[in-house]
Amino acid sequence: VVETTIQELVSTRRKGWTLPQVFYTDPEIFEADLEKVFRRYWLMIGHASRIPKPGDWFVYRLAQDSYIIVRGKDGVVRALPNSCTHRGSAICITPEGHGAQLVCPYHQWVFDLDGTLKAARLMPPEFDKSPFGLKPAHCRVVQGCIFLSLAESPPDFEPVARDLQDILAAHELDRTKVAFSREYEIKANWKLIFENFRECYHCDGNHPELVNTIPWLSLHLSKERQAELDALNDSKRQHWERIGLSVGGTAMTRQVCHLSYRFVMREGFVSASMDGKPVAPLLGRLKDPDAGGVTIQMYPNCLVLDGCSDHFVASYITPVSPTLCHARVDWLVREDAVEGKDYQIDRLTKLYSITAQQDWTLCENNHAGVSSRAYRPGPYAPSEGNTELFVEWYLDQLTDK
Ligand code: FES
Ligand SMILES: [Fe+2]
């Protein structure tokens, strides 16, 4: 599928309907997705507490590219290409590690933690090392969350940074640690996963535990119950604003790639847990566990940065092929919390583990059916308006709008 054909394919797509099959399965469309979406936008790639000390690093992979995410001696987190400037060898060959410098395993060229080439053994004395550093990609850390852009000149990150800073300030996510994380291989095109995370048409039938904790996700509420929850949400939001907790309010549009807001959970629930009871110590400078739920999402790969007064969950994806996607989920608690004493992994992770598994299964089933010869695009329901919005945003990127 060449460029002109992509344009043609986009024009055959019926507004308000799912994408033609080729968008979910074709290798050339997948290449275009990498080029026009994943190597252009900001990607959530993890939490800075994975690399707390100078010299700590982990490797982030996107298709054939690999980056060393390393904390420098100056405390700054950088993303260095994992490809030696001598003959191109991968420099870091394990998923994570630590070192005072980065040494290429092939001929032992030595790079400083900021990418500068420090030593190139047995090269002639007149060899100028200065042009042979590893050139950092754009990397930003906000409230401990690491974002990477592989673009030469990335989209403006300030609106995202401002919103995250604003809504997460009291929770102090920069003073949390990853208490637990899990990686998943999902046999689905990345777009089906993002589509799924933009609608709750599927929630009643598939997420009983989540709907129990966050009842307004249900589309089957009586008018009275809906009015009750709306009133509760309004009064809580006023209360939170009065005590200095931001309620956010940024919504995704065809141009805005992220959202953030604070919402009410079930009456009496103070944590996004199975029973609504706390599962970890209060975060940051919060005094009252009743801080509601916070949700953040960002195109194209941050499915969820969700949390409450005592923990957060970050769930982010990296496409591997048209039919396979990698996901990582991190559970964050305050940095000084002690496992077994202040929190139990099982209680902390239960609600989102169950919910994530339900979603991956839905996405895999979706992909299996979409790959079938019987598949034809189908109409989105009114409650899938945000999914349609995502698809429109995606098509705008493919066609450089
Ligand atoms: S390829 Fe890295 S030192 Fe030769
Ligand atoms: Fe879901």
pLDDT tens-digit profile of 102-143?
999 999 999 999 999 999 999 999 999 999 999 999 999 999
Beta strand 96-98 with 117-119 is unpaired
Ligand 1 centroid, distance to 350 Cα (angstroms): 45
Q: From the centroid of its chain, how far is CA 43?
A: 7
Q: Which of 103, 109, 110 to mutate to test the pocket of ligand 1 (most atoms within 8 A of CB)?
A: 109
| Residue 218 confidence (pLDDT) | 97
> Ligand 1: does its nearest atom lie under 6 Å from the Cβ of 200?
no
Helix (H, G, I), strand (E, B) or coil at 326: strand
Q: Which residues of the chain have pLDDT under 70?
A: 1-3
> Ligand 1: does its nearest atom lie under 6 Å from the Cβ of 106?
yes
Please check whether residue 186 is in contact with residue 364, taking contact to mean a CB–CB distance below 8 angstroms: yes
> Ligand 1: does its nearest atom lie under 6 Å from the Cβ of 296?
no
Beta-ladder partners of 295: 261, 306
Determine the residue type at 197.
F
Q: From the centroid of its chain, how far is CA 177?
A: 16
| Residue 401 confidence (pLDDT) | 82
- Which of 130, 118, 95 is closest to 104 using CA atoms? 118
Give the position, in ligand 1's atom list, of the atom nearest the Cα of 108: 3
The answer to whether the peptide bond before residue 300 is cis (omega within 30 degrees of 0) is yes
> Ligand 1: does its nearest atom lie under 6 Å from the Cβ of 111?
no
Residue keyed to tokens 């939001």: 237
Q: From the centroid of its chain, how far is CA 90?
A: 25
Among the bound ligands, the one closest to the CA of 197 = 2
Ligand 2 centroid, distance to 6 Cα (angstroms): 30
Q: What is the pLDDT of residues 385-396, one digit of tens each?
A: 999 999 999 999
Ligand 1 centroid, distance to 175 Cα (angstroms): 37
Ligand 2 centroid, distance to 232 Cα (angstroms): 24
- Which of 234, 326, 337, 217 is closest to 278 using CA atoms? 337
